[in-house]
Amino acid sequence: MRILIVDDERPARDKLRRLLAQEADVTALAEARDGVEALEEVAAFKPDVAFLDIQMPEISGIELAASLPAPAPLIVFATAFDQYAIKAFDANAIDYLLKPYDQARLQRALERVRLRLRAPHSVPAFDSGHAVRQLLISERGVTRVIKVDQLQWLETADNYVVLHTGAEAPLMRQTLAGLLDKLGPGFVRCHRRAAVQLNWIERVIALDKGDCELVLRGGARVPCSRQYRAGVIEKLS
């Protein structure tokens, strides 16, 4: 198993690493100190399992889990606070380790992980229908949470994507194609530089040469080129 440890406290990471290193089928370990590092590690390290602390600066473990793109690693929460257990299991977590735990308790959690890895389709994976529910945006050392259902449309800007919510338009360093893969079928490309969330579309206005304009709830107008018009109409019907 490839395991990612996410915890803002170094002693907690060290303890979990020591315990996991004693398991013969743990083949690789990686660490992250917060949610931003964790997302980078998930993309680069591709863990089978992520052990997440819940109370961390800026982004909680629950928020981080909701931000993982599919296919997401299996999730085990490890925390000193028992009040989050219901939220954790609502999120289809494999287990909930209450600190301080010992090797025996960790092994029970790992057995549940092994069962899931051997039968990956027996229980729904933690991917919320194969799409993330929120995005994490880092700006000047501050990480913001943008709920996906607030996104009206997306627009490319050099190496970034502008996230139009109606109230604001933060930048995310990502390609439009890569972001659409994370967001799932609720979004559709409408222009080589733009995409829209389907349930925000209120009207489609025909323009010259086969182009059209999408009018969204709230009044925003998004270009839709002839190349993508038929696909948008099909998704709306």
In angstroms, rounded to a whole number, what is the distance separating the alpha carbons of residues 174 and 196? 16
Sign of CA dihedral 115, 120, 124, 127: positive
Q: What angle do CA 205, 207, 208 make, to 5 degrees?
A: 165
In angstroms, rounded to a whole number, what is the distance separating the alpha carbons of residues 160 and 219? 24
User: Among 152, 150, 167, 129, which residue's Cα sits nearest to residue 198?
Assistant: 152
pLDDT at 91: 63
Task: Please spell the DSSP secondary structure of 39-84, one letter per residue.
Answer: HHHHHHH--SEEEE-SS-SSS-HHHHHHTPPSSPPEEEEEES-GGG
Question: What are the φ/ψ torsions at residue 93 (nearest 5 degrees)?
Answer: -65, 150
pLDDT at 58: 78
Give the H/E segment covering residue 225. Answer: none
In angstroms, rounded to a whole number, what is the distance separating the alpha carbons of residues 54 and 160? 29
Which DSSP symbol is given to 137?
E
pLDDT at 81: 81
pLDDT at 31: 97
Spatial contact of 104 and 97, defined as CB atoms under 8 Å apart: no
Domain regions of the chain by residue span = 2-118, 146-236
pLDDT in tens, 70-91: 788 999 999 888 777 767 666 6
Q: Tell me if the domain spanning 146-236 has CATH number 3.30.230.10.
A: no
User: Among 192, 198, 184, 206, which residue's Cα sits nearest to residue 235?
Assistant: 198
For 2-118, CATH number out of 3.40.50.300, 3.40.50.2300, 3.40.50.720, 3.30.70.330 equals 3.40.50.2300
List the chain residues with pLDDT less than 50: 122-130
Tell whether pTM > 0.75.
no
